[in-house]
Amino acid sequence: MTSGGRNQSIVVLHYTTGLVLLYLSLRTAIHAFGGGGSRHGAVLGAVEALGAVLFLVPRTLGIGALLLLLTLGAAIVMHGLGGAFRGDLLVFAAAVWCVLANRGGT
Protein backbone atom coordinates (compact mmCIF):
# COMPACT_ATOMS: atom_id res chain seq x y z
CA MET A 1 0.00 0.00 0.00
CA THR A 2 1.27 3.45 -0.82
CA SER A 3 1.94 6.01 1.87
CA GLY A 4 -1.07 8.03 0.73
CA GLY A 5 -3.32 4.97 0.88
CA ARG A 6 -2.07 4.15 4.36
CA ASN A 7 -2.73 7.69 5.56
CA GLN A 8 -6.24 7.65 4.09
CA SER A 9 -7.00 4.33 5.76
CA ILE A 10 -5.87 5.69 9.15
CA VAL A 11 -8.05 8.78 8.67
CA VAL A 12 -11.05 6.57 7.86
CA LEU A 13 -10.29 4.35 10.87
CA HIS A 14 -9.90 7.45 13.07
CA TYR A 15 -13.22 9.04 12.23
CA THR A 16 -15.20 5.80 11.98
CA THR A 17 -13.94 4.63 15.37
CA GLY A 18 -14.50 8.02 16.99
CA LEU A 19 -18.03 8.46 15.66
CA VAL A 20 -19.14 4.92 16.48
CA LEU A 21 -17.70 5.15 20.00
CA LEU A 22 -19.38 8.53 20.49
CA TYR A 23 -22.74 7.10 19.44
CA LEU A 24 -22.42 3.95 21.54
CA SER A 25 -21.13 5.75 24.63
CA LEU A 26 -23.91 8.34 24.48
CA ARG A 27 -26.45 5.54 24.09
CA THR A 28 -24.96 3.77 27.12
CA ALA A 29 -24.90 6.93 29.25
CA ILE A 30 -28.45 7.95 28.34
CA HIS A 31 -29.75 4.44 29.02
CA ALA A 32 -27.95 4.23 32.37
CA PHE A 33 -28.86 7.76 33.49
CA GLY A 34 -32.47 6.94 32.60
CA GLY A 35 -32.50 4.12 35.11
CA GLY A 36 -31.71 1.27 32.75
CA GLY A 37 -28.24 0.66 34.12
CA SER A 38 -25.82 1.32 36.92
CA ARG A 39 -24.41 4.67 37.98
CA HIS A 40 -20.98 3.31 37.16
CA GLY A 41 -22.13 2.57 33.62
CA ALA A 42 -23.59 6.04 33.30
CA VAL A 43 -20.39 7.74 34.40
CA LEU A 44 -18.25 5.44 32.29
CA GLY A 45 -20.42 6.13 29.24
CA ALA A 46 -20.27 9.89 29.80
CA VAL A 47 -16.47 9.89 30.21
CA GLU A 48 -16.15 7.66 27.16
CA ALA A 49 -18.30 10.10 25.16
CA LEU A 50 -16.03 12.96 26.22
CA GLY A 51 -13.03 10.87 25.17
CA ALA A 52 -14.63 10.18 21.79
CA VAL A 53 -15.24 13.90 21.17
CA LEU A 54 -11.64 14.72 22.10
CA PHE A 55 -10.42 11.81 19.94
CA LEU A 56 -12.26 13.23 16.92
CA VAL A 57 -10.50 16.62 17.18
CA PRO A 58 -6.94 16.34 15.82
CA ARG A 59 -5.46 18.74 18.42
CA THR A 60 -6.88 16.71 21.32
CA LEU A 61 -6.59 13.24 19.78
CA GLY A 62 -3.95 12.11 22.28
CA ILE A 63 -5.92 12.92 25.43
CA GLY A 64 -9.08 11.55 23.83
CA ALA A 65 -7.30 8.32 22.95
CA LEU A 66 -6.04 8.01 26.53
CA LEU A 67 -9.54 8.52 27.93
CA LEU A 68 -10.96 5.99 25.48
CA LEU A 69 -8.32 3.38 26.29
CA LEU A 70 -8.94 3.83 30.01
CA THR A 71 -12.73 3.65 29.73
CA LEU A 72 -12.64 0.75 27.28
CA GLY A 73 -10.30 -1.09 29.64
CA ALA A 74 -12.63 -0.42 32.56
CA ALA A 75 -15.63 -1.59 30.52
CA ILE A 76 -13.81 -4.78 29.53
CA VAL A 77 -13.09 -5.49 33.21
CA MET A 78 -16.64 -4.63 34.33
CA HIS A 79 -18.23 -6.86 31.70
CA GLY A 80 -15.70 -9.60 32.43
CA LEU A 81 -16.53 -9.54 36.13
CA GLY A 82 -20.16 -9.92 35.10
CA GLY A 83 -19.28 -12.99 33.06
CA ALA A 84 -19.48 -11.39 29.62
CA PHE A 85 -16.62 -11.33 27.12
CA ARG A 86 -16.83 -8.19 24.98
CA GLY A 87 -14.51 -8.72 22.04
CA ASP A 88 -15.92 -5.62 20.35
CA LEU A 89 -14.43 -3.48 23.09
CA LEU A 90 -11.02 -5.04 22.43
CA VAL A 91 -11.37 -4.24 18.73
CA PHE A 92 -12.28 -0.63 19.54
CA ALA A 93 -9.26 -0.35 21.86
CA ALA A 94 -6.98 -1.75 19.13
CA ALA A 95 -8.38 0.75 16.62
CA VAL A 96 -7.84 3.67 19.01
CA TRP A 97 -4.28 2.50 19.66
CA CYS A 98 -3.61 2.17 15.93
CA VAL A 99 -4.86 5.69 15.25
CA LEU A 100 -2.83 7.05 18.16
CA ALA A 101 0.32 5.32 16.93
CA ASN A 102 -0.19 6.76 13.44
CA ARG A 103 -1.51 10.19 14.39
CA GLY A 104 0.99 11.92 12.12
CA GLY A 105 -1.19 10.69 9.25
CA THR A 106 -4.39 12.35 10.51
pTM for the complete prediction?
A: 0.87
Percentage with pLDDT > 70 across the chain? 92
Mean pLDDT (whole number) for 66-94: 95
State residue 41's pLDDT score: 81
What SS3 class is residue 85?
coil
Domain ranges of the chain: 3-105
DSSP tally for the chain: helices H, then strands E:
4, 0
